[in-house]
Structure 1
Amino acid sequence: MAAASKKKVSTSVSHIHDDIAFSILSKLPIKSLKRFTCAKKSWSLLFQNPNFMNMFRTNFLISKHHDEAEIRLLILERSGFHIQQSLSILSGERFEIRANLDCPLPFQQDANADAPPAIFILGSASVNGTLCLYQKLTTVLWNPTTSEFKIIPPSIQPVENKLPPHGFGYDCVTNDFKVIRKLRDPIEFEGKLYEPFWEIYSLKSDSWRKLDGFDDMHVSYTGRYMVNLNGFCHWFTELHDNDIVSFNFSKETFIATTLPSSDVKYRSYNFHLVELNDSLSVIFNYDRTPDFHIWVLGEVGIKQSWTKLFVVGPYNCSIVCPISVGNKNRIFFREEDLELGWLDLSTQRVERIEVQGDSFCTHMAIYKENLLPFPRNE
């Protein structure tokens, strides 16, 4: 019976005209498309077919173009030669509308006082309207729309972790925000040696606990953006630049994914993680040439599910620190001269965003408003 069923499916597939099949397949997510390529010989060559790839790119770009939530850009700026920082929300079609924000209370500082320690935003986008900010040993979850914030309590480690948190995300199964971090070096406290370990914070329980079995998992690479996406956070590892580490906040497990290409040593060119239409993507800038290669991951943990979708450029600018893509397929970035802009994948044009006065941007994140309060234990 099973053999007959399999034969029937195979026969049906063979009678579908390629033009119709390609039109249907071009609308599938990459993960599904990869699986269908083994159904028929001509389908196995889809990613080498220029006409099909043009259809697929077009459908990929328009699939999230109608996103109902307005994308805003939150920027963290530093003024002139001072360390004084400020937060602003940019909105509008060209992000010309600016609204200044008050930092959450734990980070507010008297304007006449000495410059406070720098504030950092963890990740490249808000998660359900919430951001994770940290300043020295203080970490705060903050919703700018409602002004609600939560100071995360001290670590369970015997000596407070002097490193920032490494990941932040949302567990959709338990409706909970979570933060992870790791003590990287052994420490001695009150005569006892403590080995490095991962720990996880739950907003609902307002407490930390140890994550067992992952002590050898590497932390994020300094200076690279961590990407929050679909219940995961993703980062480049600190020691192995050819790997991406992903943490699943619902299952509380780590998954490693090897980057797509091995033809060039990764340390020889610039690369960044971004979110592109609900897919994890990596942008390569080979040896700082003006061309940018964009690969999209179909399935976490599967190297073969990478697909090179775009080669854009050349551009007469040095794009650094690209971040998540908005609802109109725009990759926001900061240039080496600290100017802000975006690359429109639909038109392949680069636009600039004006920053007022003598300020310059030190960090930016995609922000979507959310009026809901933080989840609580019932």
Structure 2
Amino acid sequence: MKINNYNRKRDLFAICTSLVLSIFLTISCNKDEESTPKTEANASLTISLKGEYGKGRATIGQGDDETLKEAENKIYKATVFVFNTNGVLDKKADITSPDKSVKIENLTAGKKNVVVVANVPESINFPESINYNWFNKSENIIDLETQYTIDKGLFMSGQASVELVANQTKETTIPISRLVAKVKLGKVTIEPEAGHDISEFNLEKVLIMNARGSALMGLPATNYTLNYLYGAMPVNGNIEKSYLSETISAADYTGRYFYVLPSDNDDGHTTLITLAATYKGIPTYFPFRINNKTAESEGETTDGKFIERNHIYTINITIKRLGNGSVDPTEPGDPAALVVTVEPQDWETEIIQNVEW
């Protein structure tokens, strides 16, 4: 009998202990839930793209500008990344609709950084766990090799900040622009000074020298890697590329232009446009720094920023000293010998530069 009473007391104690523990855990959980605010994924974002448009690369026929403009402006596919302020990805989506817009649902409320990339080269794969800092890593770059033709579209990028509110749809337009710039050969004038025989002068090619081989995606930086590409004469093991060279003559030089990546002159090796010729059978070169700010002169509007993304640079060249060119296509002449006029504008028009040798 005493044993039964003991067992009953033990069972009752166990039940009470279990009940108290259960109540304690319930209270603790409720407190934890109250102290951790809930962030529901119930905000939406509708994104539309706004391009900053212009013209494109290589040799074109007269009257083909509109066809080329349409091809160069084409967006084949765009991807949208919605990042939280700490750089963590909230959602991503592809834009394939003709109206270049997409609605992204089930986003968390709060401030966001929205990144858009378009016409991304096939060699680039975005990781599933991508964060905003991924775009600033030196290994995640755009190669010029993928940008010299418009067959698959020119790479474009852009970003904007938005703030999302729960249970509401935010509409925003993201401006995107090309990473490349365009360098265009304008008018070539040959006016030989006394002692220079024009009959001995043959204009042969227009070249791009010191072209940057790759650059970041412009979100926001467009820093480039220190590898150079050349339209002729590889120097110190650097690479010659046929797409950085066009055959021309004094009678046939219109419609030649090239896509290049942004380039400053911090290392003394900014991208150049160079005319290649022969004088009395000897090769000679006329290299020019693009958008270099020289001594002030009438009509001088250069800003000295060299090559920036999404700009057109049209170079008009006058050659007077036919026999005094450079033996090196990468070595410009004395800047004091150049007369430069630049009209800075967006890619929708162009920057015009007049140079003389």
Pairwise TM-score range, normalised by the shorter structure: under 0.3
TM-score, normalised with respect to structure 1: 0.26
> Which is higher, the Rg of structure 1 or of structure 2?
2
What TM-score does the superposition give when structure 2 sets the normalisation length?
Answer: 0.27
